[in-house]
Amino acid sequence: MSRNRASRGFAGLPAAACSLALAGLLAGLLAGTPACGAADYPDVTPADRVQLPTDAGAHPAYHTEWWYVTGWLETAAHAPLGFQVTFFRTRPRPADGNPSAFAAEAVLIAHAALSDPGRGRLRHDQRIARAGFGVAAAATGRTDVRLRDWSLVEAGGGLEARIAAADFRLALSLVPTGPALLNGRGGYSQKGPAPTSASLYYSLPQLKVTGTVGRDGRSEAVTGRAWLDHEWSSAYLDAAAVGWDWVGLNLDDGGALMAFRIRDAAGGARYAGGTVRRADGSIEVLAPSEVEFRPGRRWRSPRTLTEYPVEWQLRAGGRVLALAPLLDDQESDSRATTGAIYWEGAVTASAGGARVGQGYLELTGYGARLELR
């Protein structure tokens, strides 16, 4: 396959309908199907590598990209909380020479969530806007992503996340405690049998977090550990893939573990992989045969009736880990922005009954999605 390929999907939609097609973002663009028309997007190839610090910024030529921060927080009263801050950038249409300032060359989407055991369910909010006009932007060359008054920005050797959601607020400083983790081979992360079903992908695990969380009319100081994923691609999933299971774990010994499997329509593994950084800093890249997600206890959402496996046994290389959620109800309904309903939640990892780490688990493709007719 050539590096610049004619992309599929939503061909024939009139230009006026392009913005509506964004509602199916996760349902379509991650499968390498741009929202409108036929355009050339660069493939990710096995020869590509992540180059930091430049690659911390946006990659406008690629179809889709995200900066994904998840982590565990603790209040002064030692109450646990989970949080998610995600910014998506998508290039929904080709550069067609349209001189209008309203031509949508990029669209920014943001999701934010707070997993609050005291409330018993997820707090979630979302936003979407085309880039430009001082409303939304993703800078190149550095992490600087903004959507109205939500932002994730490099500052003081780390990152600052600012979220003013409908019923919670986050003001968090995220400081690296080690180097970036380049997933796969130098950041080339294959997601399917074809070599161009892939992304460029790095993580910042073991981020030290300080800041404040506001909810229910009060603000309180928090500390914790977080994980950042930055990933960009033009063909994340192939036609036979329907969703994925992903986990990023900050291990208690100072190491880090990322593992994923791409699922087919029968629920089997279409592809899998992962990366482990041991406590001594050495790296192990996991082959598809070395990663196995085995589902356990399931939970059914009372709102969408979607059923998710919320407890898992994960085999990653020589490790066998049990994953258990901070709370069952960590479902996000993002049909207003990406068209997807998914489960994204704080989990604890244990081995032999003893805790070995904490992180986040993401489950996509289990439930309904908004379809264009």
Which tens digits make up the pLDDT trace of 13-48? 233 333 333 334 444 444 444 433 335 889 999 999
Q: How many residues does the chain have?
A: 373
Which string of DSSP letters, residue by residue, matches 260-320?
Answer: EEEEETTSSEEEEEEEEE-TTS-EEEEPGGGEEEEE--EEE-TTT--EEE-SEEEEETTEE
Rg value, the chain, Cα: 19
pLDDT for the residue 92: 80
The torsion defined by the Cα of 60, 370, 266 and 351, in degrees rounded to 10, comes to 70
Residue pair 362/66 in contact by the 8 Å Cβ criterion: no
Tell me the β-bridge partners of 112. Answer: 85, 125
Residue 100 binned pLDDT confidence (cut-offs 50, 70, 90): low
Helix (H, G, I), strand (E, B) or coil at 348: strand
pLDDT for the residue 218: 94
Report how far residue 277's alpha carbon sits from residue 283's, in angstroms, rounded to the nearest whole number. 5
Residue 73 binned pLDDT confidence (cut-offs 50, 70, 90): very high
- Determine phi and psi for 16, rounding to 5 degrees: -65, -20
Residue 105 binned pLDDT confidence (cut-offs 50, 70, 90): confident
Percent of the chain with pLDDT over 90: 79
Percent of the chain with pLDDT over 70: 85
Helix (H, G, I), strand (E, B) or coil at 28: helix
pLDDT score of 2 more than 70: no
Residue 86 binned pLDDT confidence (cut-offs 50, 70, 90): very high
pLDDT score of 373 more than 80: no
Span 325-358, pLDDT tens digits? 999 999 998 988 988 899 999 999 999 999 999 9
Q: Is there a cis peptide before residue 99, judged by omega within 30 degrees of 0?
A: no
**Which residue bears the tokens 């989970």?**
82
pLDDT score of 52 more than 60: yes
Report how far residue 143's alpha carbon sits from residue 66's, in angstroms, rounded to the nearest whole number. 11
Mean pLDDT of 180-191: 97
| Mean pLDDT (the chain, rounded) | 87
Mean pLDDT of 283-287: 97
Fold of 4-363: AttH-like fold (2.40.370)
- Determine phi and psi for 258, rounding to 5 degrees: -120, 135
pLDDT for the residue 95: 54
Report how far residue 297's alpha carbon sits from residue 322's, in angstroms, rounded to the nearest whole number. 11
pLDDT score of 59 more than 70: yes
pLDDT for the residue 368: 52
pLDDT score of 118 more than 80: yes
Mean pLDDT of 57-85: 97
Terminal CA-CA length for the chain: 31
pLDDT score of 4 more than 70: no
**Which residue bears the tokens 């607020």?**
169
Residue pair 128/104 in contact by the 8 Å Cβ criterion: no
Residue pair 60/217 in contact by the 8 Å Cβ criterion: no
Q: Which of 33-37, 131-135, 139-143, 262-266 has the lowest mean pLDDT?
A: 33-37
pLDDT for the residue 63: 94
- Among 245, 248, 247, 242, which Cα is nearest to 261's? 245
pLDDT for the residue 371: 33
Helix (H, G, I), strand (E, B) or coil at 73: strand
